Structure 1
Amino acid sequence: MKFTQELKNSKGFTLVELMVVVAIIGILSAVAIPNFKKYQAKTKTSEAKLQLASIYSAMASLQTDYDSFGSCLGDAGYISPNGEWDSTAPSSGNNYYSIGFNTAYGTPNDIVEANGGVCQDIEFGAPAFKTVGGKKTTVSELNQVSFTAGDLADGSGLTSPGVNDQGGYFVAGAIGYIDSDSTTAIGDADMWAIDQDKQLKMINRGY
């Protein structure tokens, strides 16, 4: 009898209370999940910044030693994140960005060699890596990393990742699809560039 009475006196949640809790959880999820995904994508941009900084260091050393920048990143001392070089197809790496130049630049590389350097990677355009959702960026897509003249490499005439004819200026680019909700259209790509003055700039926000 006492046990039955206790059951009758016990209280639980009403349907309205449960619905209120579910609604609150839904609202919090709607706000928190997009912000989390945006933060997650933003952290991936550190890869582009670090790799472009590495390219800058390699190019600076090349210019100091041989009076010219070049597109021969391998000979300049830059090592791609997964150690692979492939000028014809994306590698199997899981990096988020393709990083480098959009093509090889023979004349600046010849200047390096004429001054006693080694610059044989002239067929190399840029390492191309696997990105979010299996989308692979390619060497040709680095042509899309463009900017207003004067924003970077002022006076060089470069509007995309490359080395000018006399080897006195360079712009290295990075492009990747870092937002899992992106359509992998070029307008959704995250783009960065760095020049010989170590000016680092986001060209297009991809998150």
Structure 2
Amino acid sequence: MKTVSGLFDDYADAQSAVRELVQAGIPAENIGIIASNAAGRYSPESGAAEGAGAGAAIGATSGGAVGLLTGLGLMAVPGIGPIVAAGWLAATAAGAATGAIAGGAVGGVIGALTESGIDEADANVYAEGVRRGGALVTVRSLSEPLAEQAQMILRNRGVDLAERRAAYESTGWRRFDEQGEPLTQTEIGMHRDRLRSEL
């Protein structure tokens, strides 16, 4: 069994990857997504539910990409700020938020990702990517053939993680800070502009 992940600068690209994963035969309950909601695109009025419970439950029970992508839960996660989440990552994000409020989720989102098999250095880049306005799609508990197929889909649609890590580190970043202040939409835009200029 294996867990694979992909980071996306744009939520629409992450949605497309989720649809492709489901079309490839990967069960929706194995797919999780968290995305920045710093721009406030999603709200209860848009159909996203407050709290991750709805996102986790709908993503796990409705089956298919449509159920997963419409079952978004809204919440705030320490260090990242406002997010939308669905599938197993919705429950993970809720646990991170609850633990932080209670004063003690060890590792929060980073811990949840590493416990599912993601390398800690990669988990830090993924969390920072979401903090900077991106989206993370993670597929867990796969057989080797499905894991390879999922990795190919995520690699083809997502950002190159090594390049992104290098871009972050070139500005002095070393790791995701769960105690840090979430970025504003203006700051996210500045980070994206800098990344585009480096490409």
Greater fraction helix: 2
TM over 0.5: no
The structure that has the greater radius of gyration is 1
TM-score by length of 1: 0.28
TM-score of the two chains, using structure 2 as the length reference: 0.28
Q: Which has the higher contact order (CA 8 A, sep 6+)?
A: 2
